A and B are shown apart, each in its own frame.
Chain A
Amino acid sequence: MLEISDLCVEVAGKPVLDAIDLTLKPGEIHILLGPNGSGKSSLLATILGLPPYRITRGTIRLDNVPLADLPLQERARLGIGMAFQRPPGIDGVSVAAFAAALGAEDTLAREAAALDLVDFVRRDMNVGFSGGEIKRWEILKLFLQDPRLMLFDEPESGVDLEHVIAIGQAIRRIVSSPDGEGRPRAGLVITHTGLILRHVAADRAHVLKDGRILHSGDPATLFSHIQTHGYSVPDAA
């Protein structure tokens, strides 16, 4: 589904990603691990097409469609969606109004209950939301958008344990369900705490450091290694 090959990215002339290779198959969930500033969020932003990331080399393809020249909204329409880590508040635009703009009122009614967000529909998007509420809303937003490839930027940070379970279940549910056209989905998840691994059956994990993928492997094994030895290659530890 997603094929990233030899991807190099810079921001204002400064390299942030270097020679990234990553392949995500339909139905898979991959985890991105790495210290702050390692390039995890930059990778998600580049896949989605957020400014100011500029590809200097390599390719990103979704279902064989090159993404590099497509603007943000075209990539979203192709089926890429992101749960933002720190989304902006949008005064005066309610969750219900946003869902209506996407034509997803029915989905909102159904999925808001599952994420314990029924009371949110009249609230302005991300305005006055707690950290945990933002994370749940971002997952709900993906249900409304119905993307095929989902990018989760630290979905569990700032969330209490009770809601980590709900978020984990929601991620698992949306990734394991087919999209509106019956096609399997896939997800790429950034985590610092690893809590999400208890609730999401991830297929593969990648450790990023200094803009490069240092190592890829089994998520649980890699996370356990990181807890003990830091962000290093297991064989070299």
Chain B
Amino acid sequence: MDDLTTNPGGLTNAEKDILHEVGFADESTRAGTSILADRQMRVALSNDPGVEILPLAQALRTYDFVQGLMFGLVDPEENEHVRLVAEHMHDPLGHFIWIKPGAKVKLPVQSFTLLEIPQGRQFTHDITLIDEGAEVEMISGSAVPAEVCRGRHISIGETYMRANAKCTAVTVEHWGPEMEVYSYGYSRMEAGASFGSTAIMMSPIRHHTSRSVSVLGAGASVVSQSIVFAPEGTERVLASETRLTATGARSQDVTRMVSAGGTIVNDALLVGAAAGTEGFLGCDGLKLSDAGEIRAVPSLSALAEGAQLSHEASVGRIDGEKLTYLMASGMAEDAARDLIVRGFLRLSDEQIPEALRTRVVAMVAEAKSGGM
């Protein structure tokens, strides 16, 4: 692997335990595994001929076309954070995941980022190419050991979905409580591509800005849900832009936010740029205390006749009637509140793997009791 350190199977048991919390499973049960720890690609491994995983720096040297993908969806000068990552363009840290044309990948592909150095700085750039007609399930996440509270992570992700590619993805984030994280995700979906995503952002974090831009071509579709929790001391700023650029492009984006004293800002823009496009934005918030804020700003922009766009936004508190109803069966008030919050966040959704669901349910309980 040239000058880059990759070490298949080289994770320590402690590292595996940390990653298990966000969806990691033994490499043998995955079609491919990418693990980035601190400033090294620790694992870049594929068990499937339809999947290639390389450190991005190596991919740039191996495949000429990867150069065209890097900063293909975002201007390196877009903002100070992107500029910081772009400064490492000559020696980028991150993965290149390539699902080959027509590959029907049976097992999930997993990719995770670990920050193990307290006060560490991480600037990463990942590129994912899901080629024409390929199908894959992705599980990804980020995690820190318990002793890492502070640190800074900036990431850029560029995802290319070629014509008729299909992908379902689950992302679970678990950073340190005093960390600053800025993540930028850009995707381009060509004709007929479909993407289903679930993003889970539950753990305490001082500040996280998550910006995403998706551009959908003819007949491409996205169904995405984000589950966002902000305990006291947490600030999460989500900014998304979905552009439906050709006939038949469809998007459904639902964000469910719970503030237990933290702040969540969700600024979502849906653009219908062609006739025959259809999109929906949903932002639902649940406020569990007087501290913090939930701000939902769904925006619709129709640029063509025949673009059908809609949104719904609501913020409320736990309904006393529901609480009473559950307690009338003998549940303690806290247990009844937990059940309602878990229901609101749709934590029973089948799109969330069982192992992750259990962990996320525990996160809600821990966060509400102040244990996280």
| Interface residue ranges, A against B (CB under 8 Å) | 48, 50-51, 72-73, 76-77, 81-82, 84, 87-88, 90-94, 97-98, 101-102, 124, 141, 144-145
Contact = CB atoms under 8 A, between A and B. Distances in A.
Contacts of A92: 342-348
B10 interface: no
B322 A90 contact: yes
Contacts of A72: 324, 327-328
A102 B330 contact: yes
A90 B326 contact: yes
Nearest to A104: B329
Interface stretch (B62-70, B87-95, B331-339): B331-339
B327 A93 contact: no
A124 B343 contact: yes
Contacts, number: 69
B325 A145 contact: no
Contacts of A84: 325, 328
B275 interface: no
A88 B339 contact: no
A206 B86 CA distance: 81
A94 B344 CA distance: 11
Given A73-B330, A101-B335, A90 B324 contact: no
26 contacts: A51-B320, A51-B324, A72-B327, A73-B327, A76-B328, A82-B328, A84-B328, A87-B325, A88-B319, A88-B321, A90-B322, A90-B339, A92-B342, A92-B343, A92-B346, A93-B339, A93-B342, A97-B339, A97-B342, A101-B335, A101-B339, A102-B329, A141-B329, A144-B329, A145-B329, A145-B330
| Closest CB pairs A-B (n = 6) | A92-B343, A93-B343, A76-B330, A73-B327, A77-B330, A145-B329
A92 B328 CA distance: 19
Contacts of B335: 101
Interface-centre pick from B330, B331, B333, B346 (highest chain A CB count, 10 A): B330
B330 A90 contact: no
B339 to A, nearest CB: 6
Contacts of B348: 92-94, 97
Contacts of A141: 329
A91 B341 CA distance: 10
B330 A98 contact: no
B340 interface: yes
A205 to B, nearest CB: 25
Contacts of A90: 322, 325-326, 339-340, 343
Interface string B248-276: 00000000000000000000000000000
Given A81-B328, A92-B346, A124-B343, 14 more contacts: A48-B328, A51-B324, A72-B327, A73-B332, A82-B328, A90-B322, A90-B340, A92-B348, A93-B348, A101-B339, A102-B330, A102-B331, A141-B329, A145-B330
Interface-centre pick from B329, B332, B333 (highest chain A CB count, 10 A): B329
Interface-centre pick from A48, A90, A97, A145 (highest chain B CB count, 10 A): A90
B256 to A, nearest CB: 9
A50 B339 contact: no
Nearest to A50: B324
Interface string B109-134: 00000000000000000000000000
Given A84-B325, A90-B322, A94-B348, A73 B340 contact: no
Contacts of A97: 339, 342-343, 348
A82 B325 CA distance: 10
Contacts of A101: 331, 335, 339
A48 B149 CA distance: 47
Given A88-B319, A92-B344, A92-B347, A98 B339 contact: yes
Nearest to A100: B339
Contacts of B339: 90, 93, 97-98, 101
Contacts of A94: 348
A145 B327 CA distance: 11
A101 B345 CA distance: 17
Interface-centre pick from B320, B324, B340 (highest chain A CB count, 10 A): B324
A93 B327 CA distance: 14
Contacts of B330: 73, 76-77, 102, 145
